[in-house]
Amino acid sequence: MVTKSEETELNRLESQVDNGGGGAWEYLCLVRKLKVRRSDKVLKHGLSILNDSKKRSSLGSEEWTLYEEVAIAAMDCQSLEVAKDCVNVLRKKFPESKRVGRLEALLLEAKGSWGEAEKAYSSLLEDNPFDQVVHKRRVALAKAQGNLSGAIEWLNKYLETFMADHDAWRELAEIYVSLQMYKQAAFCYEELILSQPTVPLFHLAYADVLYTLGGLENLQTARKYYSSTIDLTGGKNTRALFGICLCMSAIAQLSKGRNKEDKDCPDLQSLATAALEKEYKQRASGKLTVLTSAFKSLKFHRPGKLQGFYPLLPNLDFIHFLFPSHFAAFIVSIAQFYRARDSTSIPRLSWMPNLWNSCGYYGQLAYPCEFNMKNKRISKGKKGGKKKAADPFSKKDWYVVKAPSGFTVKDIGRTLVTRTQGTKIASEGLKHRVFEVSLADLQNDEDHAFRKIRLRAEDVQGRNVLTNFWGMSFTTDKLRSLVRKWQTLIEAHVDVKTTDNYTLRMFCIAFTKRRPNQVKRTCYAQSSQIRQIRRKMREIMVNQASSCDLKDLVQKFIPEVIGKEIEKATTGIYPLQNVFIRKVKILKAPKFDLGKLMEVHGDYSQDIGVKIDRPADETMAEGEAEVVGA
């Protein structure tokens, strides 16, 4: 974080350089040190130094640092030709540098060449899987394409390795909030609070998420974290003060005085309102009356005391100080008041249906409800009467899950689904379910217990769920048993397309072994040999997968045909052992074709019955019978 003195010095140097007073290099060094974003200034003053041969030569080894700084600033300003020239100079000076490789990938990203940038980042990660900058650039690449689910996937993988990266946890939480996945966002903020308990921003964000989730328990927890935010900031956080008021109001509405823990609620709410009124008197005295009216209206949300909302409708200025989840609660309170006062007045609010679409949880909950001022009970039965417990399985049916014909065992289990009712068709709820089965159960062979096969439901025929191959992985204990000391682990992955248009990502793993008659205990491969082996792995995986359909490819996984082929082809480079296709992911499936699915499953004559001939005596008896009706 930039301190006040550093910011003053930066502004002084910037003004001096802009007015031609010199000190451009000192300014650029300070920008790089403080990690501030002044791309236009860096580009302008950096080029002035690089274009002057005397100034450039006086920098010594710092010249290359300046080239990198100017290249990044040029990409930020969309001066891609300048960035390209700087990167070319660096590549010429450092032909094998991974740092320059990152700049080249960044340039591809700036040009909008997403696919090429992704390949460049993947190549860099193969050489160094622990490069944090490249991992984060992949997340940024996914976000730039609007692929938020992909960004979440990359961030989760990154955090499995770098669990102490607070910026990554915060970025993941913000993405979850943008997708309205509030429970996942709450988990991220909990991690941040555990690692940095004195940062009030994390307490405040966590309280906002809990308030948005709703429910008495979440609201009570949100109130505690709003209070801790106020404590950490010395009572100067206006957002937390508003949060306290709204939490207290919502808790009072839900608990209705039954909760013994909330006896001191009025004191806490009065303290928060007093602090807000004092703040508004000092900074926005013109809006103090609006704030006071809002407090009167929001107090405990009791239906008999909501008259204050009516005069507030023409002037909603105080909403500017509330965040979206609070605004949703305010809209619900207005609806409750109008339902209680005059149900015919609701259509006059032409703006309300549009606002309801943005209110999230509260709007969807409150809008269809009818409020009764006299009788607040929902059920019409006797007071205290017990509800009949319905059997949850009475409306469900069992379906048999069928594996493709390539496996020995066809019936892999049974699954439940709610019976077809009205427009809700049972088969639609079964489609695209994914089942994970051990290959030992599919082949009746315990030697294959370390492989897990994923099957996805593609269609439903009668009570049979027809599945197709959807991926494969190894168990963790198998992978750990393969890793030993004094050998090199080599991994490679590649995206391939089968002849029936399935796009897969295949991951291969291999380990070096000692050569025949080798005395040395270790068997470590050199970097050049590892690159050659990876290249050979990719070639063989592409050739084996692109020359057959998915059904035939699955048959190659079980006896490990591809692994044996790789082991044989790399003998001249370095002998390998334990070569496996450890993981397969289906990235893209073609359009559903029932005919091809039935080919994968073979025939089901055992399920649909076999035609038989009638005995002769029954045939004669039927011949003499008189046919009645058509």
pLDDT in tens, 445-483: 888 889 999 999 998 888 889 999 999 999 988 888 888
Q: What average pLDDT does range 256-265 have in this prediction?
A: 56
| Higher local confidence (pLDDT), 128 or 295 | 128
Helix (H, G, I), strand (E, B) or coil at 505: strand
Rg (CA), the chain: 34
| Domain boundaries defined on the chain | 1-95, 393-479, 483-602
Q: What average pLDDT does range 139-149 have in this prediction?
A: 92
Residues 346 and 313 sit within 8 Å (Cβ to Cβ): no
Residues 430 and 417 sit within 8 Å (Cβ to Cβ): yes
As a whole number of angstroms, the distance between CA 565 and CA 579 comes to: 9
Query: What's the confidence (pLDDT) of residue 587?
Result: 92
Residue 177 has pLDDT above 80, yes or no: yes
> Counting every residue, how long is the chain?
630
As a whole number of angstroms, the distance between CA 541 and CA 248 comes to: 61
Residue 168 has pLDDT above 90, yes or no: yes
Percent of the chain with pLDDT over 70: 78
The position carrying tokens 């990152």 is 102
Residues 437 and 412 sit within 8 Å (Cβ to Cβ): yes
Residues 374 and 523 sit within 8 Å (Cβ to Cβ): no
Please, which pLDDT band fits residue 499 given cuts at 50, 70 and 90?
A: very high
Query: What's the confidence (pLDDT) of residue 252?
Result: 83
Count other Cβ atoms within 10 Å, centred on residue 284: 13
Strand-pairing partners, residue 469, are: 455
What would the two tokens of residue 163 be?
A: 């669990």
Residues 211 and 189 sit within 8 Å (Cβ to Cβ): no
As a whole number of angstroms, the distance between CA 271 and CA 231 comes to: 13
Strand-pairing partners, residue 508, are: 492, 581
Max avg pLDDT among 307-316, 503-512, 600-609: 503-512
pLDDT in tens, 519-544: 888 899 998 999 999 999 999 999 99
Residue 179 has pLDDT above 70, yes or no: yes
As a whole number of angstroms, the distance between CA 207 and CA 221 comes to: 7
What residue type is 606 in one-letter code?
A: Q
As a whole number of angstroms, the distance between CA 540 and CA 506 comes to: 11
Closest CA to 28 of 75, 5, 77, 62: 62
Query: What's the confidence (pLDDT) of residue 615?
Result: 54
Residue 439 has pLDDT above 50, yes or no: yes
Query: What's the confidence (pLDDT) of residue 332?
Result: 47
Q: What average pLDDT does range 586-607 have in this prediction?
A: 77
As a whole number of angstroms, the distance between CA 244 and CA 246 comes to: 6
Count other Cβ atoms within 10 Å, centred on residue 41: 18
Residue 311 has pLDDT above 60, yes or no: no
Residue 321 has pLDDT above 50, yes or no: no
Distance from CA of residue 626 to its chain's centroid? 71
As a whole number of angstroms, the distance between CA 459 and CA 427 comes to: 8
Helix (H, G, I), strand (E, B) or coil at 198: coil
**Helix (H), strand (E) counts: the chain:** 30, 8
As a whole number of angstroms, the distance between CA 402 and CA 465 comes to: 6
Please, which pLDDT band fits residue 129 given cuts at 50, 70 and 90?
A: confident
Q: CA 144, 147, 150 angle in degrees (round to 5)? A: 115
Residues 515 and 531 sit within 8 Å (Cβ to Cβ): no
Half-sphere exposure of 445 (CA within 13 A, CB side): 9
pLDDT in tens, 339-390: 444 444 343 333 333 433 334 333 333 333 333 333 444 444 555 555 666 6
Query: What's the confidence (pLDDT) of residue 463?
Result: 85
| Higher local confidence (pLDDT), 317 or 261 | 261
| Higher local confidence (pLDDT), 570 or 357 | 570
Query: What's the confidence (pLDDT) of residue 385?
Result: 55
What would the two tokens of residue 254 be?
A: 């839900």
| CATH class of the region 483-602 | alpha beta
Residue 42 has pLDDT above 80, yes or no: yes
Cα separation values, 254 from 186, 204, 258, Å: 22, 22, 9
Residues 86 and 48 sit within 8 Å (Cβ to Cβ): no
Distance from CA of residue 115 to its chain's centroid? 20
Query: What's the confidence (pLDDT) of residue 344?
Result: 40
Query: What's the confidence (pLDDT) of residue 388?
Result: 65
pLDDT in tens, 195-238: 889 999 999 999 999 999 988 899 999 999 999 999 998 888 88
Q: What average pLDDT does range 102-130 have in this prediction?
A: 90
Query: What's the confidence (pLDDT) of residue 1?
Result: 67
pTM of the model: 0.49
Residue 317 has pLDDT above 80, yes or no: no
86-114 burial, b for 16+ CB within 10 Å, e for fewer? Answer: bbebbeeeeeeeeebbbbbbbbbbbeeee
The secondary element (H helix, E strand) that includes residue 597 is helix 594-601
Query: What's the confidence (pLDDT) of residue 156?
Result: 92
Strand-pairing partners, residue 399, are: 415
The position carrying tokens 């370390």 is 450
Cα separation values, 628 from 421, 442, 621, 624, Å: 37, 52, 15, 13
Please, which pLDDT band fits residue 605 given cuts at 50, 70 and 90?
A: very low
What residue type is 416 in one-letter code?
A: L
Lowest mean pLDDT segment, chosen from 139-153, 156-170, 269-283, 602-616:
602-616
Closest CA to 240 of 261, 216, 211: 211
pLDDT in tens, 483-496: 888 899 999 999 99
DSSP 387: P
Please, which pLDDT band fits residue 596 given cuts at 50, 70 and 90?
A: confident
Q: What average pLDDT does range 560-577 have in this prediction?
A: 91
Please, which pLDDT band fits residue 75 given cuts at 50, 70 and 90?
A: very high
Count other Cβ atoms within 10 Å, centred on residue 167: 9
Max avg pLDDT among 243-257, 281-295, 432-446: 432-446
Query: What's the confidence (pLDDT) of residue 511?
Result: 94
Query: What's the confidence (pLDDT) of residue 374?
Result: 39
Q: What average pLDDT does range 407-429 have in this prediction?
A: 80
Considering the chain, what is the average pLDDT of its residues? 79
Query: What's the confidence (pLDDT) of residue 58?
Result: 86
As a whole number of angstroms, the distance between CA 315 and CA 289 comes to: 11
Query: What's the confidence (pLDDT) of residue 353?
Result: 37
Query: What's the confidence (pLDDT) of residue 277?
Result: 85
Lowest mean pLDDT segment, chosen from 170-184, 291-305, 343-357, 402-416:
343-357
Residue 60 has pLDDT above 70, yes or no: yes
| Nearest-10 crossing angle of helices 200-213, 238-255 | 30
